[in-house]
Structures are given as C-alpha cells and as structure tokens.
Structure 1
Amino acid sequence: MAELLGLNDVIFDISITPNRADCLSVLGVAREAAALLGTSLKAPEISVKEDESTPAASVCAVEIWDPDKCPRYAARIIQAHRPAGWRGA
C-alpha cells in the first residue's frame, strides 16, 4: 500500500535505555546520529522572548563550585504560569 501511495520512506525504530536521557528528544537523537555518522549537526535556532523586568539574579542564584567539572550551567525561570484544567477552565 505504501508503494502504491508513493510513501516509500525509512523508519528508524529506536529504543532508548535509561542511561541515555540525552537521546529522549528528536534533537538528542539527531546529535547522536551525527556523532555516529561523523557529520556535523545543524541545530535549529531557538529564540525566547525575555522578560527584562525581572532579572534572573533577583529570583535565584547559581554558584559553580568546581568549574573544571561543570564548565557551564544554564537555567530558565518560568513565572506567571496559571495551570488550567484539561478543558482550559
């Protein structure tokens, strides 16, 4: 049926083990595939609208005790989230 409809495509069936949480997203799988194939990954550009009225440093602080073991730490603060019921009520 797929051939008749012209839907000939490759399907990757991937099983992720618990120790590979980095592969639990499409981007994570793409990174792993690029590394295995020896190619470069062209990651999508992601833009986030920043709220300049509340600097992150006024809400929380991060201190890196050992920069050799943790060269970079990133965090995101999400505020003013009003959860709604499953119907949006």
Structure 2
Amino acid sequence: MADKISEWIAQRAYAIWEEEGRPGGRDGEHWRLASDEWTRLTQSAVVTREKSLKRVNKAATETPTEGQSDKVEPAPLKKGRNTKVAASRKGIEG
C-alpha cells in the first residue's frame, strides 16, 4: 500500500513540476505539495465516507412515520433513446 501511495505522490510531483515549466532545484517542494494534496484527498474521502455511514445508520434505525411507507417505489421511466433500447431488448414496444 505504501508503494502505491509513494508512486501516486511521485507522479503528482512530476505533474506539478511540468505544470510549473520544469524548474530546476524544486523537487523537494513539488514532493511536499503532492504529499499535502494526497493528505487532503484522503482526509476528504474519510470525512465523506463517515458522513455517508452516519446517514445510512440513521436511515436504518428510523421507523417510518404515519403516512410513510418503508417500501420504495421505482422512479418512472422517461421516454427516450435509452428506454427504447432497453425495451427493445426485452421485446417491449416503447
């Protein structure tokens, strides 16, 4: 796993170096920038995942209120090219 992270950082540092016009003597700075970017991306992904898990857990523990059903109805299909293709595959006229 650490090898994949180092590889990502190296590729990103190289891209930053190219974006800056390939200046000499700034490889340490480019590596730091890429490493910081990796940290931000992974922290953001962790926060997003935690928020998603909280929503899922909350929804799983909630009971339907009066007038609500725990049954989910599918959205109606819109007429268009994709539905015609799907319908023709099933032998249905669209």
Report the TM-score, using the length of structure 1 for normalisation.
0.22
- Larger RCO, structure (CA 8 Å, separation 6 or more): 2
User: Considering only CA atoms, is the larger Rg found in Structure 1 or Structure 2?
Assistant: 2
**More helix per residue:** 2
